[in-house]
Amino acid sequence: MADGPLSDLLVLDLTRALAGPHAAMMLGDLGARVIKVESPAGDDSRGWGPPFLGEGEDRESTYFMSANRNKESLVLDLKSDADKDVLARLVERADVLMENFRTGVLDRLGFPVSRLHELNPGLIVLSITGFGHDGPEASRSGYDQIAQGEGGLMSITGTEQPTKVGVPIADLVAGMYGAYGVLAALHERTSTGRGRVVRTSLLAGMVGVHAYQGTRWTVGGEVPGLAGDHHPSISPYGMFATASAPIQIACGSENLWRALCAALGWDPAEPGFATNALRVANRPALTERMEGLFADQPAEHWLALLSDAGVPSGKVRSMDDVYTWDQALSQGLLLEVSHATKGDLKLPGSPIRFDDNPYSGGRETHLAPPTLGQHDESIREWLDS
């Protein structure tokens, strides 16, 4: 049905909202056949908006569209024995099943892991929860903004007070780690023939991306604070105002500091700024000096100057600017798909490309996010064939 490196896989996506759907979409982008199993009410995110495309009962959520390309939609009422039987038949054929129910819900629906593996011993099960499937707070619901706070990310984001990231990063990262774990389990299955359960959570995802901010505490014993628009350990490395718009500069080495100074006509050995440690300690004074100079010319002037000097720098682009930028387009980061009811649409593309394949995700054709139950008939016919 689809091309791409995972085109021999069948994924059952029982998830809703964002973390699980994002994980399933990642596999779909790489060619897997993904059947999204929805309740009669549909994925919660179908109702999340505005903005919507269309009006009334025919409207489609742009939020839903962000995480459900390259999928088919099948409606099943898992309180119905007949529909439970359909799910069981799908499980027998599947390679992966993804779910993000609260712990115990899948068991109560009649599909504990033991039964799933009775139906299909090679099945990989991905379970994404809010705070983990066990432990003292396993029963808590998982919502992105809460996880951003509980997982420490908000405590290092912002300038004057803790701030959430502009996308649901806890959901997205959990989905990425989930897809990563699934691929590892699929690789293991090639030698064992057995499936296994892969678990992750929004909390785990947040801790997983702490990077050097985590080791500042675990190794260095230092509690990080708000990072703002500047790197806490490197200077100058951050956002600076100009006469027209802010620009970003990243001097990640002493060579780059010297190149910046040459471009600006400064002495790189000036007292107070001669080493990175001094520049970090004196960051407010350095920032004030740089922005005082930058106030004389617009952003484009400084970006051209810095580019000629080999100093990493860039614009702070708006979303409309990103999706019309020649460089982004050259990387396959904008897809054109044909939606069942809304016609031709443009969607963000897969971030993965392969060296012998120019297509986003390695597949030549991509599917638009499905309408609710769009593939009910075709999937049931395929099961009966």
In degrees and rounded to multiples of 5, residue 348 shows phi and psi of -60, 145
**For residue 305, which amino acid is it?**
L
What mean pLDDT do residues 339-368 have? 89
- pLDDT for 2 equals 53
- pLDDT for 168 equals 97
Tell me the pLDDT of the chain averaged across its residues: 95
> How crowded is the C-beta side of 1, counted as CA atoms within 13 Å?
20
What mean pLDDT do residues 50-69 have? 94
Return the CATH class of domain 10-209+329-384: alpha beta
Top pLDDT among 56 and 157 is at 157
Q: Of the residues 8, 95, 171, 384, which is catalytic? A: 171
Percent of the chain with pLDDT over 90: 92
Q: Say how far apart CA 68 and CA 188 lie, in whole Å.
A: 27
User: pLDDT tens for residues 102-112?
Assistant: 888 999 999 99
- pLDDT for 355 equals 84
- pLDDT for 1 equals 42
Residues of the chain with CATH 3.40.50.10540: 10-209+329-384
- pLDDT for 357 equals 74
Q: Which pTM was predicted? A: 0.93
171 is catalytic: yes
- pLDDT for 61 equals 96
Percent of the chain with pLDDT over 70: 99
Question: In terms of residues, how long is the chain?
Answer: 385
3-class secondary structure, 265: coil
In the block, residue with structure tokens 């808590």: 140
Q: Say how far apart CA 312 and CA 318 lie, in whole Å.
A: 19
- pLDDT for 360 equals 78
What mean pLDDT do residues 120-133 have? 97
